[in-house]
Amino acid sequence: MLQIIRTAAVVGAGYMGGGIAQSLADAGFQVVIADVSADAAVAARERLIAESEQFERQGLLTPGAAGRVRDNLSVGASIEQAVADVDFVEEAVPEEPAIKHDVLARISAACRPDTIIGSNTSTLPVATLAPAVVGPERFLTVHWSNPAPFVPGIEIVAGAATDPAIVPVVKDMLERAGRSGAQVADTPGFVLNRLQYVLLKEAMNIVEEGIAAPEDVDTIVSTTFGFRLAFFGPFQIADMAGLDVYANCFATFEKAFGERFALPGILARAVGEGRHGVKNGKGLTADYTEEQVLDLVAYRSEAYSRLVQLVRELGPSPIHREPVPLVGPTS
């Protein structure tokens, strides 16, 4: 079995695939890109080098990034040529099962038997795509986020047939590329988009109910709990806020909104066991010493203060902030 990944191919050199290839090439991997044609792949390479030069000038990538991308990124005349002799292939074609099936079949037929194959799908389960792969034991989802050069988290999804031994090999590749891989179960939407879409759905419900306008919802999210999410996940935030407080809030929500806001079992059990979070040193996923609590509070204060400074330095985003009519009437 392959022990370490040194070379890669990315099939689909559009915005996402190109960003993945750019990131791996910048990290020192030898990367081949392929697209619908050799001309499209050549154009993508030129674009990625130009982008890298711009990012380097802006200080967004480390010095020498453009040179590393230029030296490490090459073009395949076809999918088959691009994947023929690499350790890892990332499929990054449109999110349509038929297209992915066709491309994955071509990839798996042309690459080495020990080549690990990943898909950048954001919602399709491995079980939906694996039947197209020759040797499904070397196939899994490796889901990057947009924009790939700057978002560090990667979802890793192993399927029923995936050899568990390839997961640490992929995680090692991602770590060497400066990324953090988190393994999740094979279910539609995985974790990232399941959470993201639930937030969007509830935000739209709030607007449709007349509780707040879209721009005000965006302001609340980006300046309150979304502000915290740059540093802490929901379990950590709950620990800091107080698990007993959250349990009481769920009682209010369930009374107002019904079963969909019922107290989660994991929280009920934790509070029933006397776990109230940081304030009594017993959290949802960890216990805390007094010293750790002091260190956590100090870190949190510094992190939030620095983020406020960064936001002030950058100024508002260029997205138009004036209220606009919602598309279509509501009933």
Q: 115-146: per-residue pLDDT in tens? A: 999 999 999 999 999 999 999 999 999 999 99
> Which residues are CB-neighbours of 329 under 8 A, at least 6 positions away?
none
Average pLDDT in the chain:
95
Q: Does 237 score more than 50 pLDDT?
A: yes
pLDDT at residue 330, rounded to an integer: 46
Q: Are 83 and 11 in contact (CB under 8 A)?
A: yes
pLDDT in tens, 167-218: 999 999 999 999 999 999 999 999 999 999 999 999 999 999 999 999 999 9
CA 255/CA 243 separation, integer angstroms: 19
pLDDT tens digit sequence for 8-46? 999 999 999 999 999 999 999 999 999 999 999 999 999
Residue 285 confidence (pLDDT): 87
Please state the pTM of the whole predicted model.
0.90
Whole-number Å distance between alpha carbons of 142 and 117:
9
Judge whether residue 324 has pLDDT over 80: no
pLDDT at 317: 85
Q: Give all domains of the chain, ordered by start, each with its CATH number.
A: 7-184 (3.40.50.720), 224-314 (1.10.1040.50)
Reported confidence tier of residue 323, pLDDT bands at 50, 70, 90:
low
Task: Note whether 29 and 157 are within 8 A (CB).
Answer: no
Gap between the terminal Cα atoms of the chain: 58
Averaged pLDDT, 274-290: 95
3-state secondary structure of 139: strand
Q: Which two tokens stand for residue 257?
A: 């909104």
Contact 300, 231 (CB under 8 A): yes
Q: Check residue 213 and give its pLDDT.
A: 95
